[in-house]
């Protein structure tokens, strides 16, 4: 039984604990409340009220009246979840069953898997707050995020009907076009940081100021000012590509409601449809987290002391670790609200405009940006 001693139990247990915390306590609730925020913010932008009165229907449980408790509609995600679970699970007869069932899973799983390498906090209980602190961090994110396309493509193809098929085709071409500029716009950042590990990216930003706001470390050098321009360009390109990667408006051609009914998930119902929905929002959260890690300093907040592996075991240290996690997700939430804000502002692109923007502008800008960054790094010390 010697091999039992060789298994790194602490590593396995802490990873499982971190995964459970991240997925079930943070991301999934965040996903459902992003859906709620989407509905509320869109309503407010359009001078409506949105879902503002969902309460507890205790009369369903045999009580005389419903519980009168004003929550401002915060019960809506619960009601939605119950609705999705109770709806009829309908599989049309003409679909390719295997891929039809596989597609929603493939849409959801990659979005959640990308979260594994994202450092969402500094230290808690002596543990680094990242599920997998791997040194290929960002490459892993790009690799897994591309797998997410398969969910949409398989859904479109296996549905065996024209609108989902068109949605699937659009998704493929769109993802391929924007993956390029996404990857290329991240290169300048990686050149500046000099490491693919996302924890290292944050450590660099803690020491030298956030990439997008280089003054957060209290000083501003000529090199930082010069580097700010390519970083800003790369931030804009990266964000636009991230919108396209997550199928958000103005790039939601795969599911454009006005032309394709609902695009790739037209034939889906009940929880299978909900999985696409959750996958889209989980991808949004993963994308926003990546932007936060690469450009906005991750969990770091200036003037806030940073705990280490040792101090995080004390009460003050663990409190600090909790604040770091909160700061990280606060930044993510702000970005998510921006995603929603943009969605309810811009109309959808025409498909040729989308392709033109991706291939003729963003790709070139990202490519040239790499050389600008290289020149600054090489000539300005």
Token pair recorded at residue 348: 């959808």
Helix (H, G, I), strand (E, B) or coil at 235: helix
Contacting range for other proteins; rule: CB under 8 A; set: 38-46, 88-96, 129-137, 204-212: 38-46
> CB of 328: closest distance to other proteins in angstroms?
25
Separation CA 144–CA 57 (nearest Å): 41
> Binding other proteins by CB under 8 A: which of 12, 13, 17, 49?
49
Contacting range for other proteins; rule: CB under 8 A; set: 13-21, 37-45, 219-227, 315-323: 37-45
Nearest in space to 120 (alpha carbons), one of 332, 287, 282: 332
> CB of 337: closest distance to other proteins in angstroms?
10
Cβ nearer to other proteins, comparing 48 with 350 = 48
67 near other proteins, judged by CB under 8 A: no
Cβ nearer to other proteins, comparing 46 with 221 = 46
> CB of 346: closest distance to other proteins in angstroms?
6
45 near other proteins, judged by CB under 8 A: yes
Taking CA atoms, 177 is separated from 21, 248, 263, 354, 359, in Å, by 35, 15, 19, 9, 6
Checking phi first, is residue 230 left (phi over 0); if not, alpha (psi -120 to 50) or beta?
A: alpha
Separation CA 312–CA 169 (nearest Å): 49
> CB of 156: closest distance to other proteins in angstroms?
29
Cβ nearer to other proteins, comparing 309 with 353 = 353
82 near other proteins, judged by CB under 8 A: no
User: How many angstroms from the chain centroid is the CA of residue 330?
Assistant: 13
- In the block, tokens 């499982």 appear at 16
334 near other proteins, judged by CB under 8 A: no
Other beta carbons within 10 Å of 221: 13
Cβ nearer to other proteins, comparing 43 with 105 = 43
105 near other proteins, judged by CB under 8 A: no
Separation CA 152–CA 314 (nearest Å): 46
262 near other proteins, judged by CB under 8 A: no
> CB of 250: closest distance to other proteins in angstroms?
9
> CB of 184: closest distance to other proteins in angstroms?
19
Cβ nearer to other proteins, comparing 201 with 336 = 336
Token pair recorded at residue 374: 């290289």
For residue 211, cis peptide bond before it (omega within 30 degrees of 0): no
Cβ nearer to other proteins, comparing 18 with 40 = 40
> CB of 243: closest distance to other proteins in angstroms?
12
DSSP of 342-381, one letter per residue?
Answer: HHTTSPPPPHHHHHHIIIIIIHHHHHHHHHHHHHHHHH--
Separation CA 104–CA 290 (nearest Å): 23
Residue 220 bridge partners (DSSP): none
The beta-strand segments (E) located in 121-172 are: 123-124, 127-128
Show contacts with other proteins in window 337-366 (CB under 8 A).
341-342, 344-346
74 near other proteins, judged by CB under 8 A: no
> Binding other proteins by CB under 8 A: which of 20, 25, 44, 225?
44
Contacting range for other proteins; rule: CB under 8 A; set: 41-49, 96-104, 107-115, 363-371: 41-49
> CB of 317: closest distance to other proteins in angstroms?
38
The residue ranges that bind other proteins (CB under 8 A) are 41, 44-49, 341-342, 344-346
């Amino acid at each position: 039984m010697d091999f039992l001693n060789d298994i790194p139990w602490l590593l396995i247990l802490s990873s499982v604990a971190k995964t459970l915390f991240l997925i079930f306590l943070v991301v999934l609730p965040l996903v459902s409340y992003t859906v709620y925020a989407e509905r509320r913010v869109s309503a407010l932008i359009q001078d409506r009220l949105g879902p503002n009165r969902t309460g507890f229907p205790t009369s369903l449980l045999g009580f005389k009246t419903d519980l009168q408790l004003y929550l401002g509609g915060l019960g809506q995600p619960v009601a939605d979840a119950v609705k999705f679970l109770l709806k009829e699970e309908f599989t049309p007869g003409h679909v390719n069953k295997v891929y039809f069932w596989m597609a929603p899973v493939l849409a959801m799983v990659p979005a959640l898997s990308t979260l594994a390498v994202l450092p969402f906090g500094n230290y808690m209980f002596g543990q680094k707050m990242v599920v997998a602190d791997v040194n290929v961090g960002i490459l892993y994110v790009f690799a897994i995020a591309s797998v997410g396309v398969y969910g949409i493509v398989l859904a479109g193809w296996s549905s065996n009907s024209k609108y989902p098929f068109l949605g699937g085709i659009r998704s493929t071409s769109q993802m391929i076009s924007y993956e390029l500029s996404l990857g290329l716009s991240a290169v300048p950042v990686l050149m500046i940081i000099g490491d693919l590990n996302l924890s290292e990216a944050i450590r660099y930003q803690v020491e030298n100021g956030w990439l997008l706001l280089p003054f957060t470390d209290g000083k501003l050098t000529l090199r930082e000012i010069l580097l700010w321009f390519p970083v800003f360009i790369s931030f804009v390109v990266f964000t636009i590509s991230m919108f396209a990667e997550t199928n958000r408006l103005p790039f939601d051609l795969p599911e454009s409601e006005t032309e394709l009914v609902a695009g790739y998930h037209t034939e889906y119902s009940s929880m299978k449809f909900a999985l696409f929905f959750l996958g889209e929002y989980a991808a949004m959260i993963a994308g926003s987290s990546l932007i936060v890690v690469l450009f906005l300093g991750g969990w770091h907040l200036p003037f806030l002391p940073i705990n280490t592996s040792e101090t995080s075991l004390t009460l003050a240290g663990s409190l600090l670790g909790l604040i770091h996690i909160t700061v990280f997700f606060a930044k993510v939430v702000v970005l998510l609200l921006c995603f929603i804000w943009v969605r309810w502002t811009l109309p959808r692109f025409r498909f040729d405009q989308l392709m033109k923007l991706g291939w003729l502008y963003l790709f070139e800008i990202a490519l040239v940006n790499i050389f600008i960054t290289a020149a600054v790094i090489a000539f300005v010390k």
